[in-house]
Chains A and B, each alone.
Chain A
């Protein structure tokens, strides 16, 4: 009987062939927590009798959600994480080193075929790497750090097949927003997604991360991009689905005519062609996050903003996904272009996406953001509205002061 990618990866870890619906206890290849989930993880780890993490080289803590610390309370939680990492001999990624998901991939904590458990809902991002990656909460993560294991129900898989190539000026973010709109925020709950077809084959690793990242916005347990066309710096054995694998549902879309997409307040699946919202005045433009803070995202923004100034009624915040992204963007001139255009650079990390600091919108303000969530109050103020779009859309909108189709600046 044929298997999906998820069924194959889990089977490889439990030493027998398993299929959707089975409960398993599996070894994991890596585990991480951020500063939102880490302190509770450490507390639970100690309370459940944890002495040593199962493998300090496979566990990591990342300070990214409120970095640098905005107040003494959070400073003390960060200290708790630093002390724990030192005690356990595991790596702690410091303020400014980057967003958890970006640094896990850059530092090879996760590889194709792995099972990775992260205490952050966007952990499925590593599905870009042909890995099975799930988000969990703090207590689950503490248990994984203690035992090296996770209990899982092998998920059913939804196949999303996209034929056709994206038009010039249309990006992976537009594609995944379109798909979230079609599948909806609960359309893949408890299930895995396999993204397959021509539209994904030519995508960079960064773009594949954008796609897999927003599997969370469909409720999925994990979202894996078919490895065809995946290029990495090291050799790997790609895990592909069998031809007779069983899918609970298959979506087929021809995306060759897809236009830039926008998700309107206040749910990520409230997605429309950008033409529905063109002209909507904005106050604040944000590029960053685990969804779209990578070099190609900053580069496309710079392509649009080169030699220009953002609209005088707009402020723009840039949070590179990692220190490595920041250094590359300095090296290739992108960062200078963005700052000369009027953008404000903040510490690599989650920045204003989680509403803790570094750019909370005011009452009545409208934000265009390259992030993945626009729930009410997400950026710290329930009286503001958040639109989601591609980094290209954010840059074009910052320039014109209203939601703007970026294609005219890119063709």
Chain B
């Protein structure tokens, strides 16, 4: 059974370029298995209000190199737990990108987006088509490699391996 919701209509929270994983979740909070602790501190050094304004299902939108720095998987976990349903960026740092897919947080690369704060987005994860309903612009995200689609379709790498036992291309 597919665990990822594929059609999403949500509001965009928009931030800039090079948002590193220390800003997504500071190192001092990472040493825990309690996801609510992570969510309580998500993005606090970038926007101390974020965890108060974010609502379940909202979309995080950023510029280039989102998630650079540390390999901490706590970064996408914190975003997901806080309610973020999708992250859209012009491009992503590679470990963050893998981590997000692995934990079942969809990430879409749209290299030329001009999405503004507060925009209403209609997202189809199957096709990677993102409609900016506020600006009336339609974007198509970069296609994911087949193995990442397979992992995402299972809701993450844990479910994928629990089901298949090994990787296959």
A-to-B contact residues, CB < 8 Å: 23-25, 35-37, 39-40, 43-44, 47-49, 65-66, 73-74, 77, 119-121, 123, 135-140, 142-143, 146-147, 149, 151, 153, 185-186, 189-190, 219, 221, 267, 354-356, 373, 375-378, 380, 382
Which residue in chain A gives the minimum CB-CB distance to B46?
A: A376
Check A373/B158 contact, CB under 8 A, given A23-B145, A25-B167, A40-B74: no
Check A147/B22 contact, CB under 8 A, given A48-B157, A121-B69, A189-B94: no
| Residues of B66-84 whose CB lies within 8 A of A | 68-74, 77
Chain A residues whose CB sits within 8 angstroms of the CB of B162 once the complex forms: 47-49
Name the interface size band of chain B: 35 or more
CA distance A137 to B166 in the complex (A): 18
CA distance A227 to B120 in the complex (A): 53
On whether the beta carbons of A373 and B161 are closer than 8 Å, the reply is no
On whether the beta carbons of B72 and A36 are closer than 8 Å, the reply is yes
On whether the beta carbons of B20 and A139 are closer than 8 Å, the reply is no
Chain B residues whose CB sits within 8 angstroms of the CB of A186 once the complex forms: 18, 64-65, 68, 91, 93
CA distance A354 to B23 in the complex (A): 12
On whether the beta carbons of B94 and A373 are closer than 8 Å, the reply is no
The reply on B102 being an interface residue by CB < 8 A is yes
Q: How far is the CB of B156 from chain A (nearest CB, A)?
A: 7
The reply on B53 being an interface residue by CB < 8 A is no
B-to-A contact residues, CB < 8 Å: 18, 20, 22-23, 26-28, 30-33, 45, 64-65, 68-74, 77, 91-95, 98-99, 102-103, 145-147, 156-162, 165-169
14 contacts between A and B (CB under 8 A): A47-B162, A48-B158, A49-B161, A65-B31, A121-B70, A139-B73, A140-B98, A142-B157, A186-B64, A189-B94, A221-B94, A355-B28, A376-B22, A380-B27
Most buried by B among A140, A142, A147, A375: A375
On whether the beta carbons of B93 and A48 are closer than 8 Å, the reply is no
On whether the beta carbons of A189 and B28 are closer than 8 Å, the reply is no
Choose from B26, B33, B166 the contact partner of A43 (Cβ within 8 Å).
B33
On whether the beta carbons of A40 and B33 are closer than 8 Å, the reply is yes
List the 8 closest A-B pairs by CB distance, nearest first. A137-B73, A137-B99, A186-B65, A48-B161, A121-B71, A139-B102, A354-B27, A355-B27
Chain B residues whose CB sits within 8 angstroms of the CB of A49 once the complex forms: 161-162, 165
Q: How far is the CB of A62 from chain B (nearest CB, A)?
A: 14
CA distance A373 to B64 in the complex (A): 18
CA distance A74 to B32 in the complex (A): 7
Chain A residues whose CB sits within 8 angstroms of the CB of B93 once the complex forms: 186, 189, 219
Chain B residues whose CB sits within 8 angstroms of the CB of A25 once the complex forms: 167-169
CA distance A277 to B70 in the complex (A): 27
Check A47/B27 contact, CB under 8 A, given A119-B71, A151-B147, A375-B20: no
Chain A residues whose CB sits within 8 angstroms of the CB of B99 once the complex forms: 136-140
On whether the beta carbons of B23 and A376 are closer than 8 Å, the reply is yes
Chain B residues whose CB sits within 8 angstroms of the CB of A74 once the complex forms: 31
CA distance A202 to B168 in the complex (A): 43
Chain B residues whose CB sits within 8 angstroms of the CB of A24 once the complex forms: 169
Q: How far is the CB of B119 from chain A (nearest CB, A)?
A: 24
CA distance A136 to B94 in the complex (A): 9
Most buried by B among A44, A65, A139, A378: A139
